Amino acid sequence: MKPQHPSHALLHRISHRRIAPPPITAQTGVAQLLDDMYLSYNAGRLREACQLLATKLLADDCVVGLTLSGALTPAGLGMSCLVPLIEAGFVDWIVSTGANIYHDTHFALGMDLHQARPGLDDRELRENQIIRIYDIVFDYENLLGTDRFYRTLCRSEAFQRTFGTAEFHHLAGKYLAAREEELGHKGKSFLTAAYRAGVPVFTSSPGDSSIGMNLAALQLEGGSLRIDPLRDVNQSAALVWEAKKNGRSGVFILGGGSPKNFILQTEPQIQEVLGLEESGHDYFLQVTDARPDTGGLSGATPSEAMTWGKVDPSQLPDTVTCYLDTTVALPLLTAYALSRRPPRPPRRLMDRLEALTQQLQQEFTSRGRKT
């Protein structure tokens, strides 16, 4: 028998499959399209991202943390993607920019945003009190009305205390859900969906949004509402610590920025700061348009995160970075997940957030007494 050429052995080892996709037809579904036709380049990475999400992150033993950055909710991705993912039990906790939550609120309050086009006359828009986010436009009154909603709500007695951001958003979500149902807009807001499903929603930079600006104004009025960002650090670490003790932790990162760092820093907080034995998140899935060579966190690779203890070194094969606009990728990821996985029962981590944080504190202080 003729010996196999060494290069053929290597080719066999590194080949996933032969490139021979079937022709696309009118009956080709989204999941089949991704599995069979998204083969190489960033299409290939998107296929890998979809498959990692459906097979690993959405396994019964994996707690999924989702991050949101960029103007996703103004583009309608809250109601089209995030609400279905939350309602299917595919998201267990969230770290979002405050802006995504603020603009999400417009829809729950019955306010309209509109498709337009880029390159409009911004001076004319300003003169007519129209706000633009690239090719999205809306009335300036949306901002004023949303500001009034949060100021009126947060002047009430229920808000006159200190909150972590997940606690604040959960309580705000309760009242926003009631308003949403009253107006007949249920299903329009991811924050209200998270409230109903018991999904904690953190904001890593609570002062960096219009919600934070309005809360700051209430502080000048003499209100007692305070946001404690350090509480967020311990509560988010408690969620990951609990996940890793009983299963696995997966991070699903849309964009980068502060939410990405906040969800990943839970592992250094557990290992480096609290001194508890841990090895990093198990699964890492990111959609980003940021390059790694600039040194910014948004483009940092999972292997780089591994050096910080943020990702388990043994799990690097279960990491995917897809270099693509989130507004392109998220609807496809959502459709793929919903078609490939049955719904999961909601974990309702918000209901146990205080108890899990106390448990983390007890283990930390117990270890401290031994050293």
pLDDT, tens digit (0-9, with 9 covering 90-100), for 137-194: 999 999 999 999 999 999 999 999 999 999 999 999 999 999 999 998 889 999 999 9
* 207: pLDDT strictly greater than 70: yes
Q: Which of 16-25, 77-86, 169-178, 186-195 has the lowest mean pLDDT?
A: 16-25
Looking at residues 349-358, what average pLDDT do you find? 97
**pLDDT category, 203, cuts 50, 70, 90?**
very high
- pTM assigned to the model: 0.92
* pLDDT (0 to 100) of residue 310: 66
* 346: pLDDT strictly greater than 80: yes
* 282: pLDDT strictly greater than 60: yes
For the chain, what is the mean pLDDT?
A: 91
Q: Which of 6-20, 106-120, 357-371 has the lowest mean pLDDT?
A: 6-20
Q: Domain ranges for the chain, please list them.
A: 28-370
* 1: pLDDT strictly greater than 80: no
Token pair listed for 225: 């509402």
Closest CA to 109 of 140, 156, 53, 150: 150
Task: Output 281 or 347, whichever has higher pLDDT.
Answer: 347
CB 140: neighbour CB atoms within 10 A? 13
Catalytic residue numbers read: 310
* 287: pLDDT strictly greater than 90: yes
Q: Domain 28-370: which CATH class?
A: alpha beta
* 363: pLDDT strictly greater than 50: yes
* pLDDT (0 to 100) of residue 222: 96
Q: Which of 231-240, 269-278, 334-343 has the lowest mean pLDDT?
A: 269-278
Looking at residues 199-211, what average pLDDT do you find? 95
